[in-house]
């Protein structure tokens, strides 16, 4: 009964072929209609006519460098679901217009949700998104905090035919070269940051500076570096060097020491989350901000800011310039209603990540109401070119060509005289939408089909 | 006579195939019947079976096998980008390329044994991970991960006249045979691969080659004194297990065409070691069991939350229910690692032979219970020991 060598003899071949044909036939027995074509108008996870509820999936980083943002996003999602189901004070549901939301769930079905941990890793995020789609039957996935993850999940959602409402993702690629028909982004991007920041930099720091970039080594860092470089070089600045750092590095001292002797007088930190807190704190500890180079004060710029990061970086952030999508100190009705309702629920004001996630959830629900169905192609058409107001950013439009929202951008500065532990960012300038707009085709990319 | 039939290859293969192919049925009550998880079971089963050929038979503990998984994935995605969306060339290329890498890494690492070998493989794996993460960004797309795009050349598809008009085409098997690797199709393709992989592993276990590998494990010095040069055998085992990992990586990419560097991280290498030890080192199906259990924990336990726990303990009176939820909740959700750690500790302390040893003890107990005599071996026994009689 013993076999000499693992070669494929006649019997082995027969056995293998039997196994193969069994496997090929197996789907017939286990899955209904496995070899039949799909019917028109049915779609993945279509809720039954008599279903009482629908499920949404919130995929956020609960561990890793962006965990703080993820936690705040999850709070916002829970609040949005509450408001959609008609519980709580309604928040921005009251200021959002034109709104078709009724406060009784979406299309009369109660909204439920499942959550997942992206771990800020593309693989893990896709696994978790797949689980939500295949096992939990979600109709829409939202969340983010890393553009790498957002792009990976967006690609998956396009294949699976599930709508992806991106949370915090700032890379140009999300709605640029990697844009997808099923992906939508409310957040602004690196290109807009550059356009908004340029004039302020010129005014405050002049036109003769030498910039040194430290950049997170992934899609967001790359595009932000590119956009900021384009802006600053347009002002007449020189770029001394750009250095890529791994995400979640923790210790940045090996990257900071070379800056001291590089002849640069400006440091641009293309970092976010805990990375930015660490790199900024260490830069200040190395005495960069007290230095004089080329007869100018050494300056640090953090193009993408958030209040959560400001909380982490503390005093080091005072006086440093950057941009943000939204800030809780805005005084329009939408922002006030949202801050009030979020504060009542959780005891602290929302971050910009929370804001964008809350808005995205409401926008998806509204699009379903407008379309009168959960059928993704119809929902997508309702979102494309949708113009709205009262969500904290003034008049906003979802551009149909690339699924990017266009709205005002805030240039902010670390507050040197904070009046409370949350009053950390001072709004320097509210840059109007017209100043940050660009042509959709400059980044290339294809949206892809409506029906998959 | 019965003993002979029970341990014969065709019967084992038949039972194995039946169990694997019917997985969607018997996993339903466990809440694990959804394509993504089934695919993971099959793919990581292949990975663990291959790893076991090295670790289980020769006792050489490699801490860098995720490298070959990652290389397989990258190769497969590049094949989709440059050649064709057909998965067959992608998988074959993935196996060849990881085989070549395994040859080089194995040749260098196998100059040492024991802990030094482990450290060398770990070093190579970390090197490969760092390279993929930063230096080789043009090839691997770094942190973002390698993805397909509509503009990819796909030379063979273009020659066959397959025009891409809308969106990224999906991976397939000869276009018409299986149009898309989504869902259950992906699982059945992976399952067939698993069955073939298992068959080859069975043949290796029961061949003179497998015997020599086992001899290396029991006493390499003595083997050398009898005139055997062990290095070629070790290297062959290393390359075979590397190709198994490449196959698993290629399948991962076929089902979800994205390759990220984190697939090669040391935690991923450690995972396959855990799978093998948990299931039973050196047994035929143990590593696969280990892979299934770990993937089950990772996907099901990590997704449980308090409200679901309340549903599970619904049958208890209110006070007890609260109590049970409070006790259990640290072990599910984000705490699934804790549960896995506990299970692993219990297995290693009480069942050093892994879950297969536990099963054997159980079978032995049942046999004694019915007075069937202690010494005769059942099919399960034979499979677990993989004897080469």
Q: Can you point out the beta strands (E) in B246-309?
A: 258-259
Residue whose entry in the numeric block shows the structure tokens 């002979």: B4
Domains of chain B: 2-303+351-385 (1.10.3470)
pLDDT recorded at residue A181: 92
Instruction: Give ipTM to 2 decimals.
Output: 0.77
**pTM of this structure:** 0.82
pLDDT for B115 equals 93
Closest approach of A201 to chain B, Cα-based (Å): 30
Q: Where are the alpha helices (DSSP H) in A269-386?
A: 273-285, 307-313, 333-346, 352-371, 376-383
Q: Which of A367, A387, A406 is the last residue of a domain?
A: A406
C-alpha pair distances (Å), B364 with each of A221, A344, B12, B360, B369: 60, 63, 19, 6, 8
pLDDT range class, residue B263, cuts 50, 70, 90: confident
* pLDDT of A255 strictly over 80: yes
Of A289, A306, A324, which marks where a domain is finished?
A: A324
pLDDT at B388: 37
Contacts made by residues B223-231, CB under 8 angstroms, sequence distance 24+:
B231/B110
pLDDT of residue A217: 85
What is chain B's percent helix, strand, coil content, to nearest 5?
75, 0, 25
B contacts of A155 (beta carbons < 8 Å): 147-148, 168, 258
Rounded to 5°, the CA angle A14-B292-B368 comes to 80
B264-291: pLDDT as tens digits: 888 889 999 999 999 999 999 999 999 9
**How many Å apart are CA B266 and CA B262, to the nearest integer?**
9
Q: Looking at residue A157, what is its pLDDT?
A: 92
Question: Of the given ranges (A5-14, A190-199, B90-99, B218-227), which has the lowest mean pLDDT?
Answer: A5-14
Same domain, A247 and A305: yes
Closest Cα partner for A269 from A310, A303, A219, A317?
Answer: A303
d(CA A372, CA A390) in angstroms, rounded, equals: 22
Q: Is the pLDDT of residue B322 over 50?
A: yes
Q: A28 contacts in B (CB within 8 Å)?
A: none
The C-alpha angle with vertex A91 and arms to A87 and A92, in degrees rounded to 5, equals 130
Interface contact flag, A4 B207, Cβ < 8 Å: yes
* Rounded Cα–Cα distance for residues A73 and B44 (Å): 33
Tell me which chain A residues have a C-beta less than 8 angstroms from the C-beta of B194: none
Same domain as A307, residue A213:
yes
User: pLDDT tens-digit profile of A356-387?
Assistant: 999 999 999 999 999 999 999 999 999 999 99
Indicate the DSSP class of residue B94.
Answer: H
Asked if residue A98 has a cis previous peptide bond (ω within 30° of 0), the answer is: yes
Interface-testing mutation among B2, B12, B167, with chain A (most A C-beta atoms within 10 A)? B167
Q: Which of A64-68, A220-224, A445-449 shows the lowest mean pLDDT across its residues?
A: A64-68
A320 and A211 in a common domain: yes
Is A215 in the same domain as A173? Answer: no
Identify the residue with better confidence: B150 or B263: B263
Banded pLDDT at A55 (limits 50, 70, 90):
very high
CA distance B328 to chain A (A): 19
Residues of B in contact with A3 (CB under 8 A): 9, 203, 206-207
Inspect the interface and report whether the beta carbons of B303 and A131 lie closer than 8 Å. Answer: yes
| Residue B13 to residue A117, Cβ atoms within 8 A | no
Per the listing, tokens 């060398």 go with B120
Q: Kindly state the average pLDDT of the residues A240-268.
A: 88
The length of chain B in residues reads 389
- The better pLDDT of the pair B368, B179 is held by B368
Q: What does the longest C-alpha to C-alpha distance in chain A come to? A: 88
Q: Which residues of A touch B133 (CB under 8 A)?
A: 217, 246
The reply to whether residue B37 touches residue A131, judged by beta carbons under 8 angstroms, is yes
A163 is a domain residue: yes
A278 and A341 both lie in a single domain? no
- What is the number of alpha carbons within 13 Å of residue B320 lying toward its C-beta? 6
* H/E stretch holding A215: strand A210-216
Mean pLDDT of B168-185: 74
- pLDDT score for B154: 87
| Cβ atoms of residues A391 and A95 within 8 Å | yes
User: Given a cut of 80, is residue B150 above it in pLDDT?
Assistant: no
> Do A153 and A75 lie in a common domain?
yes
Q: Provide the pLDDT for residue B379.
A: 46
To which H or E segment does residue A267 belong?
A: strand A266-270
Mean pLDDT confidence for A145-158:
88
Residue A448 Cα, gap to closest chain B Cα (Å):
4
Report pLDDT for A196: 92
Chain B residue with minimal CA distance to A177? Answer: B149
pLDDT for the residue A164: 95
Q: Which residue of B has its CA nearest to A123?
A: B260
* Burial class (CB within 10 angstroms; exposed 0-12, middle 13-18, buried 19+) of B346: exposed
Name the residue with tokens 């939202």: A142
Domain membership of residue A278 (yes or no) is yes
Q: Which residues of A touch B22 (CB under 8 A)?
A: 30
Residue A117 reports pLDDT greater than 80: yes
Q: Tokens 């299934």 identify what position?
A: B292
CA distance A230 to chain B (A): 22
Verify that A259 and A367 share a domain, yes or no: no
Is the pLDDT at A17 greater than 80? The verdict is no
Q: Do B170 and A5 touch (CB under 8 A)?
A: no
Please give the helix or strand (H or E) that residue A228 lies within, else none: helix A219-235
**pLDDT value for A7:** 60
Q: Quick check: A197 pLDDT over 60?
A: yes
Cα–Cα distance for residue pair A380/A376, rounded to 1 Å = 6
Nearest-CA distance from B151 to chain A in Å? 9
For helices B230-255 and B87-109, the axis angle rounded to 10 degrees is 150
Together in a domain, A249 and A150: no
Residue A427, classed as helix, strand or coil, is: strand
Of A4-18, A135-149, B197-211, B306-320, where does the model show the most confidence? B197-211
Q: What is the mean pLDDT of chain B?
A: 87
Question: Distance (Å, rounded) from C-alpha B349 to C-alpha B230?
Answer: 32
Going along chain B, which residue ranges are E strands?
146-147, 258-259
For the stretch B33-53, pLDDT in tens is: 888 899 999 999 999 999 999
Residue A439 has pLDDT above 50, yes or no: yes
Q: Does the residue A360 lie in any domain? A: yes
**Which DSSP state fits A316?**
G
CB contact under 8 A, B260 and A123: yes
Domain annotation covers residue A141: yes
| Phi then psi dihedrals of residue A72, to 5 deg | -70, -35
Chain B neighbors of A147, CB-CB under 8 A: 144
The per-residue pLDDT for B387 is: 42
A214 and A175 belong to one structural domain: no
Q: CA of A357: how far to CAs of A75, A121, A305, in Å? A: 9, 19, 17
Chain A residue numbers touching B170 (CB-CB < 8 A): 159
Across the interface, whether the CB atoms of B10 and A156 are under 8 A apart is answered no
Name, in order, each residue with C-beta under 8 angstroms of B188's C-beta and a sequence gap of 6 or more: A23, A24, A26, A27, B21
* Mean pLDDT within B177-194: 82
Domain match, A292 and A359 both: no
Retrieve residue A200's tokens.
């302020």
SS3 A375: coil
Coil/strand/helix, residue B163 = coil
Residue A271 belongs to a domain: yes
Judged by CB atoms closer than 8 Å, whether chains meet at B262 and A114 is answered as no
Instruction: Please give the pLDDT value at position B302.
Output: 76
* Distance between CA atoms of residues A268 and A215, nearest Å: 8
Both tokens of B132, joined, read 């993929």
Range of weakest confidence among A5-9, A254-258, B176-180: A5-9
Report the gap between the CA of B389 and the closest CA in chain A (Å): 6
- Cβ–Cβ of A2/B21 closer than 8 Å? no
Q: Is there a contact between A209 and A321 (Cβ–Cβ < 8 Å)?
A: no
Average pLDDT on B286-299 reads: 91
**Which residues on A lie below 8 Å from B299 (Cβ)?**
127, 131
The C-alpha R_g of chain B, in whole angstroms, comes to: 22
Phi, psi torsion values for A240, nearest 5 degrees:
-75, -50
Which stretch, B240-254, B352-366, B375-389, has highest mean pLDDT?
B240-254
Question: What CA–CA distance (Å, rounded) separates A80 from B351?
Answer: 49
Residue closest to A23 by CA, chosen among B15, B182, B190, B87: B190
Task: Tell me: pLDDT of A432 over 70.
Answer: yes
Degrees to nearest 5, angle at CA A208 with A207 and A214: 100
Residue B36 has its nearest CB partner, among A30, A130, A158, at A130
Q: What percent of chain B has pLDDT over 90?
A: 52
The Cβ-side half-sphere exposure at A17, using a 13 Å CA radius, reads 6
Q: What is the chain B residue with the closest CA to A131? A: B36
Q: Which of A394-403, A410-419, B331-340 has the lowest mean pLDDT?
A: B331-340
Residue appearing with tokens 């990586």: B249
- Higher local confidence (pLDDT), B82 or B145: B82
What's the rounded mean pLDDT across residues B326-350?
85
CA distances, A313 to each of A278, A325, A419, A425 (Å): 8, 19, 17, 12
Is residue A3 a part of any domain in this protein?
Answer: no
Q: Which of A324, A344, A375 is the last residue of a domain?
A: A324
In this prediction, residue B225 carries a pLDDT of 93
Give A78's contacts (C-beta < 8 A, 6+ positions apart): A113
Residue A95: its pLDDT value, please?
A: 92
Is residue A72 assigned to a domain? Answer: yes
Top pLDDT among A303 and A16 is at: A303
Domain shared by A66 and A137, yes or no:
yes
pLDDT of residue A16: 66
Q: Give the integer Cα–Cα distance in Å for B315 and B235.
A: 56
What integer is the mean pLDDT of A187-209? 91
Within 10 angstroms of residue B334's Cβ, the number of other Cβ atoms is 12
**3-state secondary structure labels for all residues of A19-49:** HHHHHHHHHHHHCCCCCCCCCCCCCCCCCCC
Rounded to the nearest integer, the mean pLDDT of chain A is 87
Residues A167 and A255 in one domain: no
**B93-115: average pLDDT:** 95
pLDDT at residue B203 tops 90:
yes
Q: A309: domain range?
A: 191-324
B-chain CB neighbours of A15 within 8 Å are 9-10, 13, 199
CA–CA dist B376, B253 (Å, integer):
44
Residue A398 domain-assigned (yes or no): yes
Number of domains in chain A: 2
Q: Which helix (H) or strand (E) holds A398?
A: strand A396-398
- Between B337 and B198, name the one with better pLDDT: B198
Query: What pLDDT is recorded for position A46?
Result: 86
The enclosing domain of A62 has a CATH number of 3.40.50.2300
User: In the prediction, which pLDDT does A34 show?
Assistant: 41
CB pairs under 8 A between A and B: 152
Q: Which of A299-308, B11-20, B242-251, B314-323 has the lowest mean pLDDT?
A: B314-323
Residue B165: its pLDDT value, please? 64
Q: Between residues B245 and B33, which one has the greater pLDDT? A: B245
Please give the pLDDT value at position A248.
76
């Amino acid at each position: 009964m013993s076999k000499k060598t693992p070669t494929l003899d006649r019997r082995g071949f027969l056995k293998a072929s039997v196994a193969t044909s069994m496997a090929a036939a197996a789907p017939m027995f286990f899955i209904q209609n496995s070899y039949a074509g799909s019917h028109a108008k049915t779609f993945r996870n279509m809720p039954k006519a008599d279903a009482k509820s629908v499920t949404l999936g919130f995929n956020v980083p609960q561990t890793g460098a962006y965990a703080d943002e993820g936690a705040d996003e999850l709070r916002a999602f829970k609040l949005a679901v509450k408001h959609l189901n008609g519980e709580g004070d309604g928040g921005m549901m009251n200021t959002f217009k034109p709104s078709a939301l009724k406060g009784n769930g979406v299309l009369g079905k109660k909204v439920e949700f499942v959550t997942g941990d992206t771990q800020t890793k593309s693989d893990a995020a896709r696994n978790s998104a797949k689980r939500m789609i295949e096992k939990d039957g979600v109709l829409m996935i939202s969340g983010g905090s890393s553009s790498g993850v957002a792009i990976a999940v967006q690609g998956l959602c396009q294949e699976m035919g599930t709508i992806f409402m991106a949370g915090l993702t700032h890379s140009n690629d999300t709605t640029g070269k990697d844009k997808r028909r099923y992906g939508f982004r409310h957040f602004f991007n690196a290109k807009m940051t550059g356009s908004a920041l340029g004039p302020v930099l010129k005014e405050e720091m002049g036109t003769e500076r030498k910039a040194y970039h430290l950049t997170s080594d992934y899609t967001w860092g790359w595009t932000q570096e590119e956009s900021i470089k384009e802006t600053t070089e347009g002002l007449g600045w020189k770029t001394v060097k750009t250095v890529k750092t791994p995400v979640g590095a923790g210790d940045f001292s090996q990257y900071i020491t070379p800056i001291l002797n590089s002849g640069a007088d400006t440091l641009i930190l293309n970092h976010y989350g805990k990375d930015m807190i660490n790199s900024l704190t260490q830069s200040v500890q190395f005495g960069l901000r007290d230095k004089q180079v080329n007869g100018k004060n050494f300056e640090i710029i953090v193009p993408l800011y958030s209040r959560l990061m400001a909380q982490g970086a503390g005093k080091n952030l005072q006086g440093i310039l950057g941009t943000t999508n939204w800030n809780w100190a805005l005084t329009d009705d939408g922002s006030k209603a949202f801050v009030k309702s979020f504060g009542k629920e959780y005891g602290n004001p929302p971050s910009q990540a929370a804001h964008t996630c809350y808005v995205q959830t409401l926008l998806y629900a509204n699009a379903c109401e407008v379309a009168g169905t959960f059928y993704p192609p119809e929902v997508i058409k309702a979102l494309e070119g949708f113009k709205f107001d009262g969500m904290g950013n003034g008049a906003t439009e979802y551009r149909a060509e690339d699924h990017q929202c266009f709205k005002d951008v805030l240039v902010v500065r670390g507050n040197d005289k904070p009046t409370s532990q949350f009053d950390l960012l001072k709004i320097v300038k509210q840059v109007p939408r017209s100043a940050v707009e660009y042509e959709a085709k400059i980044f290339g990319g294809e949206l892809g089909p409506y029906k998959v | 006579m019965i003993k002979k039939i029970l341990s014969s290859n065709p019967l084992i293969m038949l039972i194995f195939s039946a169990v694997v192919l019917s997985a969607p049925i018997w996993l339903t009550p466990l809440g694990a019947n959804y394509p993504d998880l089934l695919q993971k079971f099959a793919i990581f089963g292949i990975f663990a079976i291959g790893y076991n050929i090295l670790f289980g038979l020769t006792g050489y503990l490699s801490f860098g096998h995720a490298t070959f998984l990652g290389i397989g994935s990258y190769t497969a995605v590049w094949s989709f980008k440059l050649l064709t969306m057909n998965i067959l060339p992608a998988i074959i290329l993935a196996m060849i390329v990881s085989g070549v890498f395994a040859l080089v890494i194995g040749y260098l690492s196998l100059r040492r044994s024991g802990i030094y070998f482990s450290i060398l493989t770990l070093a190579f794996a970390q090197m490969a991970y760092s390279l993929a993460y930063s230096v080789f960004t043009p090839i691997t797309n770094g942190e973002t991960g390698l993805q397909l795009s509509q503009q990819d050349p796909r030379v063979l598809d273009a020659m066959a006249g397959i025009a891409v008009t809308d969106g990224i085409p999906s991976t397939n098997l000869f276009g018409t045979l299986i149009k898309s690797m989504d869902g259950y199709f992906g699982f059945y393709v992976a399952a067939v691969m698993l069955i073939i992989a298992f068959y080859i592993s069975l043949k290796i276990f029961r061949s003179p080659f497998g015997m020599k590998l086992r001899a290396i494990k029991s006493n390499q010095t003595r083997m050398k004194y009898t005139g055997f040069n062990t290095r070629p055998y070790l290297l062959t085992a290393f390359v075979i297990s590397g190709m198994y990992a490449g196959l698993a990586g290629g399948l991962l990419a076929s089902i979800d065409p994205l390759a990220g560097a984190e697939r090669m991280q040391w935690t991923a290498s450690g995972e396959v070691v855990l799978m093998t030890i948990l299931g039973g080192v050196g047994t035929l199906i143990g590593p696969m069991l280990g892979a299934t259990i770990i993937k089950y924990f990772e996907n099901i336990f990590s997704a449980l939350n308090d409200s679901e726990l309340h549903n599970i303990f619904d049958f208890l009176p209110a006070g007890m229910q609260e109590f049970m939820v409070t006790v259990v909740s640290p072990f599910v959700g984000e705490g699934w690692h804790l549960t896995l750690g506990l299970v692993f500790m219990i297995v290693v302390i009480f069942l050093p032979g892994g879950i297969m040893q536990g099963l054997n003890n159980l079978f032995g107990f049942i046999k004694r219970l019915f007075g069937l005599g202690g010494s005769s071996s059942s099919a399960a026994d034979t499979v677990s020991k993989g004897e080469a009689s």
